[in-house]
Structure 1
Amino acid sequence: MIAAGELQCAYFDAWRCRSCTLLETPYARQLAEQQSRIEALLPAMPWDAPHASAVGGFRNKAKMAVAGSLAEPTIGILAIDGTGIDLQACPLHEQPIVDAMPVLEQLIRDARITPYDVPGRRGELKHLILTSSPDGELALRIVLRSSEALPRIRKHLPLLDGLPLASVSANLQPEHKAVLEGDEEVLLAGAGVLVMRINGIGLRLRPRSFFQTNTAVASALYRQATEWIDEADPASMLDLYCGVGGFALHAARAGRSVAGVEVTTEAIDAARETAADMGADASFTVGDALQVGAHGVDLEGARAPELVVVNPPRRGIGPLASRLDASAVSRVVYSSCNPVSLARDLAAMPGFEPVRGRVFDMFPHTEHAEVLVELQRR
């Protein structure tokens, strides 16, 4: 329940889940303190006002650990001792996710998918991963230790008919370690694609694809980056760590040539399909962004892109920073989920000057943040 602009959470109040470490801090103060922390970490630059989030109902993905027993399964998180804490009504999640939880609990019981017991190292069902699209559709991934339960799951899939599911798949993760998913994905129902309609672009998510967890704030992030790119008006643009092509395909709508590099094959396949639907002048390549020169992309010569977008994982861009600094690229737009690695990368790029920045509160009630910075050649 959301009251007076703040989030009320019974799980937090009962000390069942304290993941939202800043929940007792008024949201306006959360934003102000987040802005101050980030400004203190990064070089001086002009800052736009931070982009706020809804305080609840904003998470488009639920990664729920399953524990307990067939008679009383828990869907939520694990305590320190490995026992389950049920969080089916977590107020951070979008409503279609919350509405689906009781149905998924019934599937566990009826299909007799034994929850995985972490301390005992036995059982089958490890996680349920549910993603919600702006159109209200859902994609479900069932993470199992083995294929043993698949026949029963298939038999009981009609239980899910009342849910707006675009895709159901099972992921097999046989190892006993803190790894969310395994290498094998088995499609059980649907096309295996969830369309995330963002700013009029139908980005395609396959089961392993990454997408920002806050759809509304991600939409604002893409709009802001596109506005900066359009102002710079580069003839060519390269999107590194491009995922399903969000930054590149937004920029392509202005008619410019764009390219993207991403290590995940299914994300590149999805980006190519969306580009074809749009009729965009876009090319996408499977590869490691740190080895970008090996993918036919020239950063040093006359064919270097005028502008590069980077959207790396939390570790940042590492040695790519010095390569960009020595390149012929004239402008960089950097989207970071970790201000500490962003600060380190910017220090390794003295040839670029920060033009402006903006904080996007992708993760309310925590100290995590997404930061967008524009850099130009000095």
Structure 2
Amino acid sequence: MQCPHFDAHECRSCTLMGQGYAAQLADKQRHAGDLLAAHEGLRWDRPFPSQESGFRNKAKMVVGGTVEHPTLGILDAGGRGVDLQDCGLYPADLQAVFPVLAAFVTRAALTPYDVTTRRGELKNVLVTQSPDRELMVRFVLRSQEPVSRLRKHLPSLLDALPQARVVSANILPEHKAALEGDQEILLTEADTLTMRVNGIEMHLRQQSFFQTNTEVAAALYRQGREWVDEAAPSSVWDLYCGVGGFALHCAAPGREVVGIESSREAIVSAERSAAQAGFDDVTFRAGDATAFALAAERVPDLVIVNPPRRGIGAELAGWLESSTVQQVVYSSCNAESLARDLAAMPSLRPVRGRVLDMFPQTSHYEVMVLLERA
């Protein structure tokens, strides 16, 4: 993949741009293998590749420029907008949405926020595309002042983008480097976007997290389900469950599955998905994963963890080490914190591993390992 914005030094986010994809994938496998080399008996499956381009299902576009000529992309070092509507990471049908949104910014008179003067209203536009090509569109504003104009012109946006199922305004009043605030104002009747993955419908609310690469996310969940089914546990915890991807994929008759996630928005999404699928033995709770484990009266046969980049941390790793949990499926977006966590759980030995390339053109990747108690 080659990118004119990268070549012009306008955007350098894709740090591996220009390198052959086969070499990128091999380097990621080598990196994961080196970090976990101390674990004898770890067998690596073939890495799961991504499309080199057009793989992102989510666009996080900073708005710059003017009302008459808005830019959607990033800001340069001087706070000026760099337009990335033609970014090759997005599929063509998602790219086609951006000019419509830019025209709507002008029509609704949504003044782009200027970070240097701290004036203006529209900070970011966040767009998520489902596997069925439906859209969630979120306008991140400094205040509620433009919301009335958003409502007034919303019919024109829905006419131009009939695939837009969910539209909302997010309020971020603080001047800080953040994508969104806590307050969400729903502008459409529908409040969730359906992410149909491996035949399972997951409902995504506005502030819920979903993996950026749908194809690789599907492979991630299939791999987790395969390892869980091989272990055949009667009880499973899915810690840091998000919208319930692993929990929903691991549902099976007679298997009790509990998902834990700190985001209440994500839990509402997961509960709706489980109810729609008729998974009576799958339940979700909002809370801290470590606190839940430490307070639990019963220990499951198998635990799935899918933590943020910092990893599960010493306290949860120590609990797992001293528990009677027989298997752990650990999905990590940071192999360095994974290696640190594994060192704190010597009784749980990695026996299977797989790299899944969630983020081509960058050094980031997802790695999964199956741990079994010695």
**Shorter-chain TM-score tier:** over 0.9
Q: Write the distance in 2 (CA, Å) between the matches of 1:200 and 1:285.
A: 24
Partner of residue 3, structure 1:
none
What are the within-5 Å matches in structure 2 for residues 154-193 of structure 1?
A: 154-160=151-157, 161-163=159-161, 164-193=163-192
Bigger mean CA offset, 155-164 vs 335-344: 155-164
| Counterpart position of 2:105 | 108
Alignment of 1:190-229 (within 5 A): 190-229=189-228
Distance apart, 1:253 and its partner CA: 3.8
Cross-structure match for 2:58: 61
Distance of 2:21 and 2:67 partners within structure 1: 39
1:308 aligns with 2:303: yes
Identity of aligned residues (%): 57
Mapping for residues 1-378 of structure 1, pairs under 5 Å = 7-42=1-36, 43-44=38-39, 45-160=42-157, 161-163=159-161, 164-253=163-252, 255-280=254-279, 281-293=281-293, 297-298=296-297, 303-318=298-313, 319-378=315-374
222-231 or 36-45: which moved more? 36-45
Unaligned runs of 5+ in 2: none
Distance in 2 between the 1:293 and 1:36 partners? 33
User: Taking structure 1 as reference, are residues 211 and 290 closer, same or farther at Cα in structure 2, changes over 3 Å only?
Assistant: same
Give the 3-state SS of the residue equivalent to 2:362 in structure 1: coil
For 1:293 and 1:223, locate their aligned partners in 2 and report how far apart those are by CA, in whole Å.
25
Letter in 1 for 2:320: L
Code of the aligned partner of 2:321 = D
Rounded to whole Å, the distance in 2 between the matches of 1:130 and 1:328 is 43
Q: CA deviation at 1:97?
A: 2.1
CA distance in 2, matches of 1:22, 1:182: 31
Q: How many correspondences in the alignment?
A: 367
Shift of 1:33: 0.8
Instruction: Tell me if structure 2 keeps the 8 A contact 1:165–1:190.
Output: no
User: CA separation in 2, counterparts of 1:94 and 1:306?
Assistant: 41
CA contact (8 A) 1:353 1:375 kept: yes
SS at match of 1:216: helix
Offset of 1:96 from its aligned partner?
3.0
CA distance in 1, matches of 2:30, 2:253: 34
Partner of 1:158, secondary structure, is: helix
Cα deviation per residue 1:101-155 (whole Å; 9 max; x = unaligned)?
0111011111110000011111100000000000010000100000111111111
TM-score, normalised relative to structure 1: 0.95
- Once the two structures are TM-superposed, the CA of residue 8 in structure 1 deviates from its matched residue by 3.0
Deviating runs (4+, > 6 A) in structure 1?
Answer: none
Structure 1 residue 95 displacement after superposition: 2.9
* Correspondence for 1:4: none
> Shift of residue 83 of structure 1?
1.2
SS for the counterpart of 1:127 is strand
How far 1:201 moved relative to its partner?
Answer: 0.4
SS of aligned partner of 2:96: helix
The Cα offsets for residues 189-245 of structure 1, whole Å up to 9 and x where unpaired, read as 131100000000000100000010000000001001100100000011000000111
The CA deviation at 1:31 is 0.5
Structure 2 Cα separation of the partners of residues 13 and 94 of structure 1: 20
TM-score normalised by structure 2 residue count: 0.96
> Aligned equivalents of 2:221 and 2:296: distance in 1?
23
CA deviations on 1:46-73 (whole Å, 9 max, x unpaired) are 1011100001110000000001111221
Gaps of 5+ in 1: 1-6
Q: How far apart are the structure 1 equivalents of 2:85 and 2:70?
A: 11
Q: State the superposition RMSD in angstroms.
A: 1.2
**Residues 288-323 of structure 1: per-residue CA shift (max 9 Å, x gap):** 1121146x633xxxx310000000011110021111
After the TM superposition, which of the residue ranges 273-282 and 27-36 deviates more from structure 2?
273-282
Deviation, structure 1 residue 349? 0.6
Superposition deviation, residue 254 in structure 1 = 5.3
Deviations 1:7-59 (A, max 9, x none): 23222222221211111110000001111111111243110111000011100
Shift of 1:158: 2.1
Aligned to 1:249, the other structure's residue is in SS state helix
Match of 2:4, as an amino acid?
Answer: A
